[in-house]
Structure 1
Amino acid sequence: MADRYGNDVLAGDWRKPKNGRTVDIELEKGMVVEEPSSGFVGAVVRWEHGVVDLEDRFGKVRTYPMGPGFWVDGKPVSLVAPKKSGPAKKTRTASGSVAVDNVRARVARASRIYVEGRHDAELVERVWGDDLRIEGVVVEYLEGVDDLPGIVNRFRPGPGRRLGVLVDHLVEGSKESRIAAQVTNPHVLVVGHPFIDIWEAVKPSSVGIAEWPRIPPGEEWKKGVLRTFGWPATDQADVAAAWKHILSKVNSFADLEPALLGRVEELIDFVTMD
């Protein structure tokens, strides 16, 4: 005889919530967490004494008590402090993406991302390196953008061969903005941040300074920064040593200004668009 009422509705775990049961998850710096009652989404920047600080992409920080009531990847979780017996398994990349184990880097795409200088390239690699390797995106540096139209023409952009360019100090009326305006190829995306130099895109609090100084026009900006802080500023070796120190303080996207974060992610999306 056919079962007129179908399957037993009480069979299995019928009380299980739609999004699954809450599970404990150990905190990790850079982990992206949502507090669903307010809709606030941010990266874990610190935790202590039973509370956790989350910072969103606009630099706003909110503090919550650790425990249940959060979501990670759309699933309910209870945030707990990591055990001190050993390092927790990495669950997030420095950019906040889900870390993927045992995945080989993709063969490099024809598309590329160009940045102005070596320091720009090193900063992008430090935060987005894992994502770029999975996507097969190569980042190259140009040593300036004065010849950007010629560089674009030599790259020969087209379908399946996109070019993304990150420009320093791309603000209205600047020399950089006039150069960028000359690039009109639809397979090229030029975006920029407002900082005079990529150093400024690192949050002062991450470096341990109150703010980045204003350097008088006509003075080399990086050496002016070193002089202001009382750091050695004799030659390029001093500049390189200062940058090594600054870069060492960048552990995740939470250490960078939102004005840079959005632009880099925009470029990655553009050059990986099929």
Structure 2
Amino acid sequence: MDLRWEELDGKAGWERLAPGVGRRRLPGWDATAGLVAGAHGALLYDTGSTLREGAEIRTQAQTLLGRRVTHIALSHPHFDHVLGTGAFAGAEVYAAADMDALLTSQRESLTQDAVRQGVEPGAATEAAELLAAPHHPVSGERTVDLGGGRTVLLANLGPAHSGHDLVALVPDPAGGPGIVFCGDLVEESGEPQAGPDAVAGRWPQALDRLLALGGESALYVPGHGAVVDAAFVRAQRDALARRFRVS
């Protein structure tokens, strides 16, 4: 199933990556929201920074799909990637193991971080309050079947950029190059950010696993910025190893 790109062609930052696969570069922090369509289901990778942004993504995804998003995968627990989740009532939500407890216990700090970065306090508070714990923890790898031969492999590669990094590999049903949604394990529009929850010493190892998962021919979709190739990911891996003095 392909998406109705003519409905949003050149609008709102949507980009077609392959038949049935696309993403939007969101305003503000240039975060990625990925969309994968199968015959019976649709998966959204990350949901934006507020309920308003999540609702906008939901409406646009329904325009592209002709139906609603059924599954959500959250790349990691930073506000610009998760606070739109409350706009997707009824969707099955996947995240790295133990992220459910983290999002429940740290709503206040998540709200404060969003406000520090420029989100209006009321919007940040509302989004955090409606952020339900993920239903499906991923501790290793887990495959989501969207129907019609379309599957998404979710892999827990953290801790690295955060304590809970989840990537999504979308294989080509025809055997061509896959697409890997990387979250903030990879960044193109700026230097990779290491906040207080980063485990810097394990970040290069996580990128080694990412490259093994996607292979040389895959398209790698960063958490922020333009789509890159394996050579870019490898160069960023080596730069992080030098930065944090790990092998």
TM-score, normalised to structure 2, is 0.25
Higher strand share: 2
Which is higher, the Rg of structure 1 or of structure 2?
Answer: 1
TM-score, normalised to structure 1, is 0.23
